[in-house]
Structure 1
Amino acid sequence: MPSMSEVPLMASGGPSLSASPYDLPGGRSEYRSSPWSHRWSRPLIFVALFILNNLAWSYFYTSESTLLVPRSQPQTQQQDVVPVVHSNSSRITPKLDHHSVLAPRLETIEIVMVMIGAESATEGVTSIKSAIMHSSRPLSFRLICSEDAMPIIEHKFGLFSRPAYSVDVVYYPMSLDAIQARADRAGVGTKYFAGMGGLVKVFLHELLPDVNRAIFVDTDMVFVVDPVLLWNTFSTLKPDQMLAFPTLGPKSDASLICTCVMLLNLSLMRDHKRPFMSSTLLPSWSKNGVSGQAFEKALSGDGLIQNPGRTTLIKFNPKDPLFGDQGIYHVIWTHFPELFAHLSLRWDITYCRSGYGLKLGHWRDEQDEDMSETDQIKSQIHTEEAPEKHDQLLPGILHFNCQNRPIVWDSNENHVENTWSPMITMITRYKWIWLNRGDGSASVRSTVVQNVRFEDERAAEEERQSRLASEEGGVGRREKARLDKLDKL
């Protein structure tokens, strides 16, 4: 239907097809054409509003990460970052996707892993591949690793260059001696088989000063769904909750929680007013550190804790906690439960507890494939007093622990016909070059952080610099007062 400006005005002496509310006696019209009523005006307004809307979306998507930084936390000193140049000559320069210039920028999912040693890296790259295969968002992998692990990992990332969504890889090379020194400053240690490579998991927040929150996963785990589903769980955490991991209820002993997968509010754990891990480098951290306060409570009185799988009690020893880092997390969780959230068991479908009874449907068994939700809940096992005890579990991450093998994907039992073997075989044998799913607008970027330091080292250096500046200022003020006094004489 034409607009008012497009309806021809009839001459005063001729017949009128329709009466206009703007017509006055004598054939005159009070209608005045508005500059916004032309044919091109409405499309122009629509385009302008579309651009403003997308700019607003882009701002809110990209500014989210800054909202989690505590005001009390001082600015952290940036560590040296060096880009990795791939030797793969087949890499293609990313193209600019002109169709997505105004599209909202998707939030990047941060995933942290620890890979100390060549075997850990060989196992862990399968976990990385599974995340990329299923992801609908850009991914950033923060890898705490040893020097010998880096070439193994980087070789895999050199096999593809056109992912559907951008992939960033940041290496944080660490020595076992550096981890041991930080553990000593926190008053912790380990005799668990995972060694310092496992214990470093209690210090992840200190090694990633520019990351506000992240998912942590162990190397013997694989995603079977989109990682964004786990990432979205951050929205359920309360503002003062530092992390979330799976448990079998509030009475779980150290064997019934799992630090294999965690949601980490890294910025909150780094808060200098209440750091997650204590340190002898700073008196305030020794006094206010969450770990130190939890250890003090645990050791008060008899200091006894439950011995997993037995009715007996044993003495808690922070230098030799049960299950390494998991024992430390458990003691802190026991005494400060308000700082933790429960993470659904779906993110730890563990081999240790028979996957809680979950398994793929049997081939040519329609009754098994068409199982009802009620029947699955009845078949679930080992959920103890976990919140999901009476809810359907949906597999999100498969965990192949309790197999006593250096690289679980090499185990025949995970590939022969059993509960999850088709999924494992598909992920392990899926070619890395098949991750070239994009049009070239997304890329793979690798960087190495040099001179990696822990947060307590940076905080101690900041305190020292502040003290020196204050002392120098005091000397300057005294000298100025002396000169002013001489001027008056």
Structure 2
Amino acid sequence: MWSEDAAAEGALLLKTILLYSTRPSDIHIICDDNAERLLRSRLDLVQNPLYHVRVWFYKPTWQSMLDRVEREGSIKTDHSAGLPGLMKLFIHEILPPTVKKSIYIDTDALFIANPALLWDVFGSLQPSTAIAMASHPDQNSPEWHHASRICSCVMLLDLEKLRNMRLMDSRIYREHDDIPALAPEAFKAKYGLPKANGRYDNVRLGDQGYWWAIVDHRRDLFEPLSYDFEVTSCLLDTYLTGLGNELTTIEEELRHQIHTKDTPQEVMPGSIFPNQPVS
């Protein structure tokens, strides 16, 4: 959450976690000073949460983010999320090794059901899976190298696996040993060689373009996330007129959905998150 405005938006996300969660929550926030200040003022209002809540703030300096991207050597972005947005590729490095798995949620997202249901998805993933995020395989955007076929707004990240496989490259790694990072080969397979300045300038959608290269190159590390956990305004016509109409029949709902054919899941009427109970 970079800026006070982002924190004001993110505070609503935190509120939905507190409202709906049926378990203790550990919340890790990567932010700047202005965002931390606002969020602490909101969190101070929480006196008696139903379940225990712990919050950590991580505040990389602008220079440290620039330095990490420079050590990686090839990535850049023209996305509106800017340099902080690229840090989504380095969450496994920013959070300490004691944090082995994490749900990543974009600042402008909201939970409308129990976040523990999303956490439980970790238990159903294949042993090799390190990344789960929404998949929209029908999307056709050659100008983005089809990066809209995933959405990095909501991700399940096995941080321990990402650390062990050395997800992102670094000059320090290259100088001290010959263990290759995962990402460079994936970037090369998707986008070719970097330009003369050593940077890719044909990657769109910010971090999502790089995540797309990684998961498309290493399908064994990736599983699609159920649409129950990702209703995105970018693809609102996925759900079309049936969204929110509790009286819509299943047959009518499916007839209106235009992005769900041959995809991992169809969305049932009136359902955005699953509504089964959590023990």
Instruction: Give the TM-score taking structure 2 as reference length.
Output: 0.86
After TM superposition, list the pairs within 5 Å mapping 1:46-445 onto structure 2.
115-187=1-73, 188-209=75-96, 210-249=98-137, 253-271=146-164, 274-283=165-174, 287-300=179-192, 318=200, 321-354=203-236, 356-357=238-239, 358-361=242-245, 369-389=246-266, 392=268, 394-396=271-273
Which residue identity is paired with 1:144? I
Distance in 1 (CA, whole Å) between partners of 2:183 and 2:81 is 20
Which residue identity is paired with 1:343? L
- Secondary structure of the equivalent of 1:258? strand
Distance in 1 (CA, whole Å) between partners of 2:202 and 2:177 is 22
Distance in 2 (CA, whole Å) between partners of 1:214 and 1:135 is 15
Distance in 2 (CA, whole Å) between partners of 1:166 and 1:249 is 39
Tell me by how many angstroms 1:158 deviates: 0.5
Q: Which runs of 4+ in 1 moved over 4 A?
A: 284-287
Larger Rg: 1
Identity value in percent: 30
Distance in 1 (CA, whole Å) between partners of 2:214 and 2:236 is 28
**Is 2:191–2:202's contact at 8 Å kept on the other side of the alignment?**
no
Structure 1 pair 329–177 and aligned structure 2 pair: CA distance change class (3 A): same
Distance in 1 (CA, whole Å) between partners of 2:157 and 2:102 is 5
Distance in 1 (CA, whole Å) between partners of 2:171 and 2:148 is 29
**Is 1:376–1:392's contact at 8 Å kept on the other side of the alignment?**
yes
**Is 2:136–2:149's contact at 8 Å kept on the other side of the alignment?**
yes
Distance in 2 (CA, whole Å) between partners of 1:291 and 1:319 is 16
Deviation digits for residues 295-322 of structure 1 (CA, Å, limit 9, x no counterpart): 233355x89xxxxxxxxxxxxx635521
Deviation digits for residues 142-195 of structure 1 (CA, Å, limit 9, x no counterpart): 000011111100011111211000011100012222111111111212121110
Tell me by how many angstroms 1:370 deviates: 2.8
**Is 2:147–2:205's contact at 8 Å kept on the other side of the alignment?**
yes
* Aligned residue-pair number: 259
**Is 2:112–2:273's contact at 8 Å kept on the other side of the alignment?**
yes
Structure 1 pair 185–384 and aligned structure 2 pair: CA distance change class (3 A): farther
Give 5+ residue unaligned stretches, structure 1: 1-114, 304-316, 362-368, 398-489
Give 5+ residue unaligned stretches, structure 2: 141-145, 275-279
- Secondary structure of the equivalent of 1:128? helix
Tell me by how many angstroms 1:281 deviates: 0.5
Distance in 1 (CA, whole Å) between partners of 2:163 and 2:247 is 48
**Is 2:138–2:149's contact at 8 Å kept on the other side of the alignment?**
no
Which residue identity is paired with 2:106? D
Structure 1 pair 385–182 and aligned structure 2 pair: CA distance change class (3 A): farther
**Is 2:139–2:148's contact at 8 Å kept on the other side of the alignment?**
no
Over aligned residues, Cα RMSD in angstroms? 2.2
Distance in 2 (CA, whole Å) between partners of 1:170 and 1:287 is 32
Structure 1 pair 292–285 and aligned structure 2 pair: CA distance change class (3 A): farther
Tell me by how many angstroms 1:250 deviates: 8.1
Bigger RCO (CA 8 Å, 6+ sep): 1
